Amino acid sequence: MMVMELNLIMVSTLSMILFVIGVYGLVSKRNLLRLIFSIEIMINAATLNFVAFAAYLGSSMSVAQIAGVIIIALAAAEAAAGLSLILEAHRLRKDVVVDQLREMKG
């Protein structure tokens, strides 16, 4: 194994661990805010992969950064919409537990 690959493996492992932590939070937590936390962790893990592989391959760093910026903008939109829905849910239910919002399924 090349010495250079060790850092790529390190960053990829970090990305994988963060993604798995996000999945754990998404499945196990019922608090809407913690679900938003989990989604943000998973988005960061995905963005990290773009930069890690671009830095390793060397040729497409600008494209990776542009992809990262697009992901961050989408995450900002998701956080804004999600948090406003959480505030509204809190106003209606006085709590932010996802089980109480099941009736939205119709």
Residues 54-83 that bind another protein (CB under 8 A): 54-59, 61-66, 68-70, 72-77, 79-81, 83
Which residues touch 34 (CB under 8 Å, ≥6 apart)? Answer: 25
- Nearest-approach distance from CB 69 to another protein, in angstroms: 5
Residues 3-62 that bind another protein (CB under 8 A): 3-14, 16-31, 33-34, 36-38, 40-41, 44, 47-48, 51-52, 54-59, 61-62
| Nearer to another protein among residue 70 and residue 105 (C-beta) | 70
Q: Which residues pair with 31 in a beta bridge?
A: 97
Distance CA 47, CA 45 (A): 6
Separation CA 16–CA 45 (nearest Å):
7
